[in-house]
Homo-oligomer: A and B are copies of this chain.
């Protein structure tokens, strides 16, 4: 890690509810088989071609990106990439012949030899679907200047998994919905969304648990719909959810039950000597909520975002530059959390 301000340390649109926006494009090189059928040497060629498309020459891109062969990473280093949503959990399961191109602010990552030859991912703070999609498109265009992407006039971009055929685009927003969750509305909302071709999941995508009321809302349909249509559709639904969450917060925040939970969460985060990652996520959720409804003050949502990322288990080990036992991590997490949360006061 370096000193460039990370994307999650900046304030974003609708930052009271939206943690982040992500757009990723799946692309493959026409002349090679998909990674699951490619030979080692083919994967090596693919890796070199994609790397050179970004890093060769004196382009602006070249100065912003680092190239990381996954095999050189420690286990903690690899898991930390997942924790920071830079790569998918699947990407690090087997690290042979895989590599990553990562921008200094961690907002743009290009996974090489994941399920597809390349996956371009752009993350942005707050609600920023249009901007993220435009940024992803710019990288797509730049890469397309030197790489020959597999494209079919009927099916669009070809991908290993048919669910990605077409635009190859998956867009998502990470939403913090504690008030809707508290009100018990989530299962109804989730059912309605799936009728609209959208999915609501835990914060690490498919199959992941919801912790700290963080939900990932994403599009499911990539075929028969333009990129712009998909983005507009997702955006409109996200705005509706944001409004519902804000309304639910207003209704709940007058009550002593929620005030009690928020103040207690602050009390524990200010004083605990050990914090598990699960408890940390749950309590931080109440702090975010407390700040957004004006019951707490003194810390910004961006400070919490940074704290949240830094306190993830493997990311803590990476910072400590050694593998850590659970208890060591829980102690470090509590210490740094106390430092940040000491500034929290009742508003």
Contacts and interface: CB of A to CB of B under 8 A. Distances in A.
A272 B286 CA distance: 13
A256 B272 contact: no
A257 B334 CA distance: 12
A193 interface: no
Contact of A267 (B256, B259, B272, B327): B272
A124 interface: no
Interface string A244-258: 000000000000110
| Copies of this chain, tallied across the complex | 2
A339 to B, nearest CB: 13
A264 interface: yes
Interface in A264-316: 264, 266-274
A273 B269 CA distance: 16
A325 interface: no
A140 interface: no
Contact of A264 (B256, B257, B263, B271): B271
A331 interface: yes
A334 B257 CA distance: 12
A152 interface: no
A272 B263 contact: yes
Contacts of A269: 267
A12 B268 CA distance: 32
Interface string A160-181: 0000000000000000000000
A274 B264 CA distance: 10
A270 B263 CA distance: 9
A154 interface: no
Nearest to A327: B256
A260 interface: yes
Given A256-B331, A331-B256, A268 B273 contact: no
A263 B268 CA distance: 8
Contacts of A327: 256
Contacts of A273: 256, 259-260, 263-264
Nearest to A346: B271
Nearest to A334: B260
Contacts of A274: 256-257, 260
Given A263-B271, A264-B267, A267-B272, 7 more contacts: A256-B273, A256-B331, A263-B273, A264-B271, A267-B270, A267-B271, A268-B268
25 contacts: A256-B273, A256-B274, A256-B327, A256-B331, A257-B274, A259-B273, A260-B272, A260-B334, A263-B271, A263-B272, A263-B273, A264-B267, A264-B268, A264-B271, A264-B272, A264-B273, A266-B271, A267-B267, A267-B268, A267-B269, A267-B270, A267-B271, A267-B272, A268-B268, A270-B271
Pairs A-B, 6 closest by C-beta atoms? A267-B271, A267-B267, A260-B273, A263-B271, A260-B274, A259-B273
